Amino acid sequence: MAKIRVGELDVHVQRMSAAGPPADGPPPLVVLVHGLLIDSLASYYFSLGPAFAERGMDVLMYDLRGHGRTGRPATGYRLEDFVADLDGLLDALGEDRPAHVVGNSFGGAIAYGLAAARPDRVRSVIAIESEPPVKSWAEKMAEGLTGEEGGLVVKEVRTWLAEDPERNARPFQLAGDILDATTLSEDIPRSRVLDDGLADIRCPVFAVFGADSELAAQADHLAATLGHCRSVVLPDQGHSVLVERTRETAELLVEWLEDNIHDDIHDDIHTPAKGVR
């Protein structure tokens, strides 16, 4: 375990080095960004992290602000704050390699946000059950985090626990602690958002969805809107792609990364290829 000072925040970081010597130059850097409230870097530690490292990639995982073992300031939870944290973390680590940024759920919004704010820093975005942070995203986040009885997120958690009282409730208790101790629920819906046309996203994007998730409806739109984009929709799967289809997801992501790592994508970034689903 290591903590890195980023501004006024102590960020908990874990790294996995590429297995074996690099075949051609330094190994590619893969940054794994977890989801909101009930998540932490632990969700990657025994799943995608080892899969990437074993295939010759350097892996960086970290806990978001307010989550896991990273500091929990009372305020400062707009999307741009999370993006600035990741940007600052890469600076603090002295990383100058453009990163392949993998984001699960809310982590995907951070990946898109960094790609828009620092296109020089992001080689590609891999979004697992996520969507770009546009106006409709902010509206959904507001619906999920605020409102009667705490919003849809709280209601869904209560229903989930009621259906099976033997479930491990600790992650949801921790989520409640975050909501009680911070302005996260008020801040995220007020985040700065991207233009709906996604013109600021110029790197390749690989998006993975569960067919039974409401987010899957955007797969064709992303492929049509973004120049370099591939979308995969997994049948008979809801939002919990990373948890329930771990091995399949890892294989998909590793294969896509290996196909794109050595492509000189930046030279043709202004002549985008047609997206495929």
Q: Where are the domains of the chain?
A: 2-134+192-268
Closest CA to 118 of 140, 95, 137, 141: 95
Which strands form 99-104's sheet, in the order they lie side by side? 2-6, 9-16, 58-62, 29-33, 99-104, 122-128, 205-210, 229-234
What would the CATH number be for the domain defined by 2-134+192-268?
Answer: 3.40.50.1820
Q: Which helix (H) or strand (E) holds 233?
A: strand 229-234
- For residue 197, give both structure tokens: 């046309």
pLDDT for the residue 144: 83
Distance CA 43, CA 16 (A): 14
pLDDT for the residue 267: 40
For residue 246, give Cα distances in angstroms to 96, 144, 172, 185.
Answer: 30, 26, 21, 29
Question: pLDDT tens track of the chain, all 277 residues?
Answer: 699 999 999 999 999 999 876 567 789 999 999 999 888 999 999 899 999 999 999 999 999 999 999 999 999 999 999 999 999 999 999 999 999 999 999 999 999 999 999 999 999 999 999 999 999 999 989 888 876 655 556 566 556 556 665 665 666 777 878 888 999 999 999 999 999 999 999 999 999 999 999 999 999 999 889 989 999 999 999 998 999 999 999 999 999 999 887 654 444 333 333 232 2
pLDDT for the residue 260: 84
pLDDT for the residue 275: 30
Radius of gyration (Cα) for the chain, nearest Å? Answer: 18
